[in-house]
Amino acid sequence: MIARAKGKNKESQWFGYKSVKPEEKARLVEDVFSSVASRYDLMNDLMSGGIHRLWKNKFVSMLRPSPNKALLDVAGGTGDIAFRYRQRVGEKAKITVCDVNKDMLEVGKNRALDRGYLKGFKWVVGNAESLPFDDNSFDLYTISFGLRNVPKIDDALEEAFRVLKPGGRFFCLEFSRVLNPALRKLYDEYSFRVIPKIGEAVANDRESYQYLVESIRQFPPQEELAARMKKAGFELVRVTNLTGGIAAIHSGVKL
CATH label of the domain that carries residue 226: 3.40.50.150
> How many domains, in total, are found in the chain?
1
Q: Is the pLDDT of residue 3 over 50?
A: no
Nearest to 232 by CA among 182, 170, 184, 186: 170
CA nearest 79: which of 146, 130, 175? 146
C-alpha span between 65 and 250 (Å, rounded):
17
Alpha carbon 169 to chain centroid, angstroms? 16
E strand spans, the chain: 14-15, 18-19, 70-74, 94-99, 121-125, 138-144, 164-175, 235-242, 247-253
What was the pLDDT predicted at 6? Answer: 62
Residue 152 predicted with pLDDT over 60: yes
Interval 60-86: pLDDT, tens: 999 999 999 999 999 998 899 999 999
Confidence of residue 40 (pLDDT cuts 50, 70, 90): confident
Residue 2: inside a domain: no
Percent of the chain past pLDDT 90, that is, above it, reads 71
pLDDT of 34: 80
Assess if residue 3 is contained within a domain: no
* Within a domain: 37: yes
Determine, yes or no, domain membership for 66.
yes
User: Residue 4 above 60 pLDDT?
Assistant: no
Q: Which domain holds residue 197?
A: 10-253
Greatest mean pLDDT among 17-31, 196-210, 230-244 lies in 230-244
More confident residue, 37 or 157: 157
Q: What is the pLDDT of residue 201?
A: 84
* 132 falls within a domain: yes
Chain-wide mean pLDDT for the chain?
A: 91
